[in-house]
Each structure stands twice: as C-alpha cells, then as structure tokens.
Amino acid sequence: MAKKRDAKSKGKLRAEFRKKHQGRVRTSDLTREFQQDDSTRLDDVAHSERLSGKGELTRRKTISGADSSARGNDGIQVDVHVDETSLTHGRVLSVHGRQSKVQTEDGKIYACAIRQVLKSLATDQRGVVVAGDRVWFRIEARQGDDGQSKRPSDEVITADGMIERVEPRHGIISRTSRGKQHVIAANVDALLIIASAAEPGIKPTLIDRMLLTAAQHEIEPVVVINKIDLVDPLQLQALIGVYGSLGFRVLPTSATTGQNIEYLRAFLHQRQTALAGQSGVGKSSLLNSIEPDLALAVSTVSVENQKGRHTTTASKLIPLASGGAVFDTPGIRQFQLWDIEATEVAGLMPDLRPYVSGCRYPDCLHLHEDGCMVKDAVADARIDARRYDAYCHLLEDDLLPE
C-alpha cells in the first residue's frame, strides 16, 4: 500500500499561492458552543457573521508534476514540471510588463506571456521571470500574412508563446525593493561593478554592497573604474590599492580613449556577465566600445546634481558576436542587500573573515562587543579603517533594527 500511495502522490506538491482577498476567518463552532456552553453566550455573538475561507489552507493548491527538490536559490517555491517534448527551450532576453522576449538556441526570438500558475506562486520576488532565466515555453503562433507576427519592433519576433516552466537559477544579482526581492539578472557567471572616476564620483559603499552580493552567490567580481581619463590616476591609487590587496581585480577604463577595452572584450568572451552601477557611469558606453554594432543609447550626466539619466530602463541580456552575453542593467542609486543577515556580513568580507572566529562571542557583530578580534585587528592596522567604517555603516544603516 505504501508503494501505491507513493506512486499516486508522485509529481504532486502542496505549494503556496498568492490570495487576492483574505477576509475574516471563523474562529469557533457555534453549534458546539450552543451544545456545550452556557446558551447566554450567544447573546454576545454578532447577529451577522461573514463566512469566509479556511484561512491559510486556502493559500495552498496541489500542482501536478511539481518537484519540491528541484529548487534554485531564487525564492521560487516550486519547480513545475511539464511535458518538455511539446515545448521549446530558450533564454529570457528581457521582461517588459507581462511580456518576455525569449531567444532559442537557433537565434529566433519569441514574445511570451507567463503561465498563470507560475504568476500565482507565492514568492518574495517582484517578478517570476527575469532576464537571464532559462525557460520552457509553448509556441502559440499568431502570424501575419508574411509568416511573422505584426509587431512594431526592430527585432524579428517569429511567434507568440507561453512560458510553462522556469528552470532553477544560479548566479543571482538581486537587491531589496519595497520588502521584496528585486532580481536584476539570473544565471550570471561574472559581475562587472562599474564606477566612474568622475561625473558622477565613486561611491565605495555601493561597490562594497555589490561585492557582498557577488560573494553570497559565488559570482566572480571585477571592479571597473570608468572615465579614468577625467582625473589624475594617482588620486585613485589608495582606493585601487585597498581592493587590489583583498584579491579583487580593479580595472581602470575609458570608453573615450579605449583604455583596457581590449582586456574587457577578452574577459567577456564565453561568459555570462552582468554590468551594474550608478546611472551615468558609462555601462552602455563601455558595451558600445567593446562591440560597436550594439549601438546602445547613451546620455550625459546632469550638470546640476552630477547624477546620470536613465537610458537603460530594464535589464536586458545581450548576446555578443564574439561569444558569451552581457546584461545591460538600469542605473542603481541604492543597493539594499537581500537575504544577508548582519551576522553574515563579516564572513563575506575577505579582510574581516580571518578574524571572525577569534572573537569571544560566536554571534559577535564586531561593533561594541568585548573581546572582538576584528576590532583589535583594526586597531593594529591589519584591517583598513575605511573598510571597517564601511562595514559599521552598512550594519547600522540597513541590517540592524533602530
């Protein structure tokens, strides 16, 4: 009998779903109260009671063909299996509202909607599908007389489709946005953290946060300081030295003079690389220098506030002619960490990590505690004081309760 039960339940999973309305839930059985308790209690009961659902039970549904073991680290709680023989495999290039552009291995691009059961899954994410996702979709052709969909676009979209399944992810670049996980890019191998030497100036705190995210998801980071032609390089020697001493690659570049563009072109070869940074640091300009045929839109920095103007409004996966692909991402002014606890930060920082185990208390936050090996290392100049200050500000501003 046990085997029969296993066979019957195989491929089914009780999964959390969003519920649009959660009304009052009955908390007692009026019939039982009438039989067991003093009937005078009924005088205190509201004369009209709203009969609603069973509370949290109504937030669960059984999905056939679901496998709870095939979960990625993306927050999606269930991987819905489908008959892949009738589907097409592809990768999401971009997401605009309810529509995703998916490219297959033969280079064709499809405009796809998302299966309702995927949109209904209760997740901590702002969206179920993001740029870089590997998906299985069903082709639902809606073609014109010439065999192609009639859509005002520079790209040739061969047909419409319906995304049926999203494969588990790795290499996620994400941040917290309005209490939810905002996944910027998925299935990333490397992260180019783009800063600019001027217009706008460097924000080390933003670089540090992105380095933590890269370490959390085992993504190879490279710190790129663009617009190096606008300043005297000696001004950045101390900053470059700090990151270089920690084992991070730091690359001064200039899209104007072409400095280190060849190195970047070689680095991107056969990698899935995300470019992230503030608006105006020159992400699109660097990509245009690496591959001129991309012709990505660029804009100047505002003279009034030295902030960039958003020319990239959504993450977009761009295949490169030389092999590999890059994610051109929107400019980021704030990067609030996602799913990193205060006690984990020091362990993700290579300069603090060696001293964490020497603290007196196992849950030491390295702020005000006695017997803290990290603070001793800062006092002895074994840890750069600026890095420790950045650590303290990160915890106090974002990760510790007020």
The annotated binding site for Zn(2+) is made up of 359, 364, 366, 372
CB contact at 8 A, 96 and 84:
no
How many Å apart are CA 203 and CA 181, to the nearest integer?
A: 23
Report the number of secondary-structure helices (H) and strands (E) in the chain.
Answer: 11, 17
How many Å apart are CA 93 and CA 327, to the nearest integer?
A: 9
* Positive/negative CA dihedral, 89, 276, 332, 353: positive
Question: How is residue 307 annotated by DSSP?
Answer: -
How many Å apart are CA 151 and CA 61, to the nearest integer?
A: 37
The string over 100-128, giving b where at least 16 C-beta atoms fall within 10 Å of a residue's C-beta and e elsewhere, is bbbbbeeeebbbbbbbeebebbebebebb
Residue among 173, 176, 163, 98 nearest 132 (CA): 173
Count of CB atoms situated within 10 Å of the CB of 198 = 15
How many Å apart are CA 344 and CA 356, to the nearest integer?
A: 10
CB contact at 8 A, 177 and 203:
no
The SS3 call for residue 191 is strand
Binding residues for GTP: 226-229, 277-285
Q: How many CA atoms lie within 13 A of 4 on its CB side?
A: 1
Q: What are the Cα distances from residue 364, in Å, to 45, 216, 389?
A: 52, 20, 16
Count of CB atoms situated within 10 Å of the CB of 312 = 19
Binding residues: 226-229, 277-285, 359, 364, 366, 372
> Secondary structure of the chain: what % helix, strand, coil (to 5)?
30, 25, 45
The total number of residues shown for the chain amounts to 402
The three-point CA angle 17-317-226 to 5° equals: 120
Question: In sequence order, which residues have a C-beta less than 8 Å from that of residue 35 and are 6 or more positions away?
Answer: none
